[in-house]
Structure 1
């Protein structure tokens, strides 16, 4: 008989102790990220509503001036003159230095200036008292409260990250969800996997204790130590993780298989445990007992980036709860594409979504199962479907607004996000073309595509259900863009995308009437936007006719900048009008029905629970892996290997070849963010010294990392594919007959594509300066 999980108020202990705290932490992070934008806009609203609001907002917060507005000037002149004369008389050198004379006019001028300054203070104070109203005070209290809350939370970002990591890691441990080379199926697997987690978590606990002692001694010696309280959090957290691993060891789950081998059981050890144990042994051998904690604590210095990564994972899990991927596949279905051509289209579509979900692994987790099923539905062989699923997140890491690029630009001042995304678009098209060529050579059936006359109308008809989503997403975009003055870009994506996904889930799961509210808001904003476009056009015309100087343009923009902005608003508004017209005027099925899926709820509350629960497990798995990657990077950094490398290789070709190999190896064993930190410190300066431009080097690095994530022995993206597709399905795809390529196509096809793209990107620009200049074009800021 299956054991029932105890519940309280229809929620499991995990939901109360894990999912709910994580949801609250994620909402706090969203508020913290958007709070500064909201506060800035509130200041603008206050200044536009009440004259001198910046002065009025101090009402009740500053005391009345203590100076005298009407002093007796003559009396004060006499007092000061007598005082100075007395001081001069008592000075034996006063006569020699000419101090006997007192300048009464200078004293009077000084007193008059002091009186004027005092009266100005009283005038400002009185103005505030006369003009302030209850509405100003109420608005000031809200605005000031937001400012105080944002500033306070901003000081505790590291605590938020530490709590998020530890809560999620404990949940991942109980769920047996840590990333490993093989899933744990047998009793031997369970013993080895759990024992490794007990050892690794115990080593982390010991390291945290030693690190705390070291910092306490430094603090007692007078050294300033930041966030000393975090040590207690880490110690308590690692103690809980150790206890959780011990509990898992002594209370194995039901249904474990018998048999297996101890050798294969070693492959079930989580990757973070491998890294933690190996790094700890290296550090212990050097007498550096708190080394792992020191390098792990480097995450805290980049707390904003890792908190954004958690938001991206949440975005991906909410996307999984929506019908968007199903509707998009419905749009493509009338084209009746052959499996290989469908894979090309899927990878192009997935690349865009990958850029908006932060990293390749996150998108594989979010949409990998749907991609795999849809490719199987169109007749793709399982090996091809697994290859495309693993690659689905690999091509979008170079597209705007991917988080990895933002991290690189934040760490390395020689490149900008604009330059990297410009070059990344070209790299993406090259990679997609290479995949198309390889897939056509590897196809087993003739390429096919439906006639355009038949496919286009059917595809357009199936786009009708997408239009309400365009309205909901567009309304959120207009809210941030036109009201909060924040566009959707690589910096605001972690703020805006969660709000968009929440709005979509409310529309899908809670009430279809939400689209009407969004439409009303969109119409109002479009009216204002069109008015602004018309006024901007008139201003441009007046400047062109000489009736107005260029300095009179809105926002003090140059004519070319204003014209570009007006065209951007014009096409944006036109697109939103298409969404509105199609939704309300074109007949069609706007509510497509799909078979219920496991792990996807039919109501909003259930969707949020499922999304947050999955987010918790994935955050724990990925952040622990990234944290231990910091330790692995520390081993490399302290080993002296990097210092042993030559500063220059004598040939740019040799240097490029070295970086290609080294970066792929880094990508095979270290997660993206940890790899970026290590490479930026160790290899980026070497590349510059060898004549490889920073932009060229980082494009090589991004493609090499993705090749590493697809290459055994680790092949992280394939491990994530196994998690979402299922172990049994992956095992069923194995072939015992056929050519070597067919039997291992899920590995060889992605490796061949990414390796070819990497070699082209690394070496072709070295042959031709024109190619280099076109691919890695410098973009001047402003």
Structure 2
């Protein structure tokens, strides 16, 4: 429900100074990424509309040639021969070196070639001038404008990321939303948490100032330094961040509780502050005062990936504003599943959504509260519901198009996204099977499923409300696929998914009639696609294939388009011909969920701002923390070779879990790629096998105390009071700590199977980690 009254102009200072700038920055990132696609398509349109468009687009921009089209060849030949002969006569060594005679024919041939080249330039220039029309100029100006804007913004991706991080981190500080082991509730908690944040932010400021001084000295010494202006952005940003923490320290919130203990207050220190202070102490001890900033600058080198991460967080928060998760749960209710079986179904759905929201933590933030409530509603015990909520994002990181896999493939050239997603699908099935087995052994009530003949019709009836969403999403997918030639995959997902979520919000929050516009567009695109399929079939049957097109590839593409079109046609038919089934009777507007478009976008972006600040700053400090390991000499002390591949696999299992327990996903990937991946390959563990071990080990680490990042995020979205109410004072050890033990048992079992079973058999290894040859 709406939590604020007033029109769009009556907003808080935070929304004007933080939410609105972040909203504009995120839109700019989407435009920057999609602008490259749009520009390439504009070039194709121009070339297909006007012959030699690549020449025509230079009209008015290139001056006419300056050479002479009809020179007097004989006169010029005589002039050059006479000049060269005079030079030879003046040279006393000309006869000795063989330069006394001038070849008149060679000079003439050279002049004739130059004349031909000049005439070609004039002909090309005249062709452009003759063919150019006002339409070409108008289209060229539009296409060139898009190219200029995209190229200009592309040079400032680092600035966009720095602004996004600093604005969001400052907002997170004011919201007291940084990730810590426990929330700040008492005055002692507040003093410790904010006091340490003042210290850590001041250390970041000192590091940024020292880094600027170092780069200035390097520049003065003649070394090329990129983006020197960014230093002032970091200095000003960290100064504001330190002042924000100081303001919060001196002016505490009024809702703080009295009492508390200094020992527990230490647990409220944000994780990024722990990492920042630890790294700063080590770097300062080495005289490396700008060390933290140097490692933070690694984020700038991967600015595209971290900007995509911000988009994924935005996607997750927009998903939270929709009714999609409620409709999916409503779809499952007729089956009357027991809590443990419901958890299996929820985790399977959540895995797919996790893959499309970037990382496990992002999905927990986006849908964790809904998952927890729905599991409690079907009778799940609170410990089980918390376990499933924390795990809801853990199984999908190996599925297409998850961002973490894209990052790994970008950093490590020994694996491809296709190979990792192929192996990841098998690891996902294994994870789901292991969870099912463990959950059934741990169940407290008999397993139950409603009769198939009764549940299936009711479930299909409740699937009808999903059809408008299929039409909206399908229309956007057709727009990108058929008009912009970009399919929804791991590379385009950060671009296409925000557009899909905005389109869904337009349908839900602005007008339900908007679905008719999307349906009209879809019908037009489907008709065009069906005609294209027919033409492709005719070409395939007649053997008149376009140049460069393989018959097998064309047939596969035609079948793919046909099945896609039939699915979208089914959405249209069901939506317009089948009456809508019963809606979820339990649905009610929630706090922080708006029923209006402006409110939904505002709430989603406000939440996005807080989570971007918490996650990106934590990731930045994780890179600094990885610098502690890198400079400590620990990696050099590790053996380059182990006694056997089994010992090596055991070492990497333990090491990767420890990394996952203390370092965030992207920071962990960067550290592991540099330090452990080459070592694993040298010890006989293939790159694909190693990274599957790493992904599962990371997720086990995120579920394992003392940090247990996914449990911390679950606490944030479910609520501290609700998590505390789930604690049991009696019962077996497993029951009292089920929220930790069940996920750890599942992921540990999967990790051991993934790490060691392929080593027993080459055939198993070859099947799971199949190499995919590039076409």
TM category, shorter: over 0.9
Shift of 1:462: 0.5
1:195 aligns with 2:195: yes
**Aligned counterparts of 1:149 and 1:128: Cα–Cα separation in 2:** 25
1:566 aligns with 2:543: no
1:682 aligns with 2:675: yes
Partner SS, residue 554 of structure 1: coil
Aligned to 1:653: 646
Aligned to 1:541: 541
CA contact (8 A) 1:351 1:396 kept: yes
Shift of 1:100: 4.8
Deviates more, 1:30-39 or 1:591-600: 591-600
Report Cα offsets for 1:500-521 as digits up to 9, x if no partner: 0011001111112221111111
Shift of 1:138: 1.0
Deviates more, 1:649-658 or 1:456-465: 649-658
CA shift in 2, pair 1:379/1:216, >3 Å = same
CA shift in 2, pair 1:712/1:355, >3 Å = same
Aligned to 2:335: 335
Shift of 1:70: 1.7
Deviates more, 1:646-655 or 1:396-405: 646-655
Aligned to 2:66: 66
Aligned to 1:279: 279
What are the equivalent positions in structure 2 for 1:58-457 lying under 5 Å apart? 58-96=58-96, 99-457=99-457
5+ unaligned residues in a row in structure 2: which ranges? none
Aligned to 2:523: 523
**Aligned counterparts of 1:182 and 1:311: Cα–Cα separation in 2:** 27
CA contact (8 A) 2:350 2:393 kept: yes
CA contact (8 A) 1:707 1:751 kept: yes
**Aligned counterparts of 2:726 and 2:582: Cα–Cα separation in 1:** 36
Aligned to 2:466: 466
CA contact (8 A) 2:461 2:582 kept: no
CA contact (8 A) 2:462 2:583 kept: no
Which of the residues 711, 718, 728 maps onto 2:721? 728
Report Cα offsets for 1:657-695 as digits up to 9, x if no partner: 111111111000000000000101111111111111111
Shift of 1:312: 0.2
**Aligned counterparts of 1:165 and 1:89: Cα–Cα separation in 2:** 73
CA shift in 2, pair 1:19/1:744, >3 Å = same
Shift of 1:226: 1.3
What are the equivalent positions in structure 2 for 1:6-45 lying under 5 Å apart? 9-45=9-45
Shift of 1:407: 0.4
CA contact (8 A) 1:386 1:721 kept: yes
Aligned to 1:632: 625
Report Cα offsets for 1:757-779 as digits up to 9, x if no partner: 11111111111111111111111
Report Cα offsets for 1:41-93 as digits up to 9, x if no partner: 00000011111110000011000111111222222222222222322322234
What are the equivalent positions in structure 2 for 1:549-698 lying under 5 Å apart? 553-554=545-546, 556-589=548-581, 594-698=587-691
Shift of 1:590: 8.9
Deviates more, 1:671-680 or 1:129-138: 129-138
**Aligned counterparts of 1:455 and 1:98: Cα–Cα separation in 2:** 100
**Aligned counterparts of 2:334 and 2:564: Cα–Cα separation in 1:** 28
Shift of 1:631: 0.9
**Aligned counterparts of 2:691 and 2:103: Cα–Cα separation in 1:** 70
CA shift in 2, pair 1:692/1:89, >3 Å = same
**Aligned counterparts of 2:602 and 2:252: Cα–Cα separation in 1:** 26
Shift of 1:612: 0.3
Shift of 1:591: 7.5
Shift of 1:182: 0.5
Shift of 1:112: 1.9
Report Cα offsets for 1:691-745 as digits up to 9, x if no partner: 1111111101000000000001100000000000011111111111111111111
**Aligned counterparts of 1:96 and 1:227: Cα–Cα separation in 2:** 57
CA contact (8 A) 2:8 2:598 kept: no
CA shift in 2, pair 1:306/1:406, >3 Å = same
CA contact (8 A) 2:660 2:699 kept: yes
Shift of 1:649: 1.2
CA contact (8 A) 2:326 2:584 kept: no
**Aligned counterparts of 1:338 and 1:591: Cα–Cα separation in 2:** 22
CA shift in 2, pair 1:5/1:573, >3 Å = closer
CA shift in 2, pair 1:30/1:103, >3 Å = same
**Aligned counterparts of 1:766 and 1:746: Cα–Cα separation in 2:** 32
CA contact (8 A) 2:317 2:366 kept: yes
1:761 aligns with 2:754: yes
Partner SS, residue 487 of structure 1: coil
Partner SS, residue 356 of structure 2: helix
CA contact (8 A) 1:6 1:13 kept: no
CA contact (8 A) 1:22 1:164 kept: yes
Aligned to 2:706: 713
TM-score of the pair, normalised by structure 1: 0.97
Aligned to 1:699: 692
**Aligned counterparts of 2:94 and 2:198: Cα–Cα separation in 1:** 83
Shift of 1:253: 0.3
CA contact (8 A) 2:355 2:398 kept: yes
**Aligned counterparts of 2:452 and 2:541: Cα–Cα separation in 1:** 43
Deviates more, 1:165-174 or 1:215-224: 215-224
**Aligned counterparts of 1:95 and 1:753: Cα–Cα separation in 2:** 91
Partner SS, residue 730 of structure 2: coil
Q: How large is the RMSD of aligned CA atoms in angstroms?
A: 1.5
Shift of 1:7: 11
Shift of 1:5: 12
CA contact (8 A) 1:165 1:623 kept: yes
CA contact (8 A) 1:5 1:12 kept: no
Partner SS, residue 658 of structure 1: helix
TM-score of the pair, normalised by structure 2: 0.98
The alignment covers a number of residue pairs equal to 771
**Aligned counterparts of 1:622 and 1:601: Cα–Cα separation in 2:** 25
CA contact (8 A) 2:330 2:584 kept: no
Aligned to 1:475: 475
Partner SS, residue 357 of structure 1: coil
CA shift in 2, pair 1:96/1:622, >3 Å = closer
CA contact (8 A) 1:7 1:13 kept: no
**Aligned counterparts of 1:541 and 1:510: Cα–Cα separation in 2:** 47
Report Cα offsets for 1:598-646 as digits up to 9, x if no partner: 0010011000000000000000000010000011100011111111111
CA contact (8 A) 2:656 2:697 kept: yes
Report Cα offsets for 1:521-580 as digits up to 9, x if no partner: 11111111111212222222223xxxx5xxxx2362222211111111111111011001
Partner SS, residue 556 of structure 1: coil
5+ unaligned residues in a row in structure 1: which ranges? none
CA shift in 2, pair 1:131/1:652, >3 Å = same
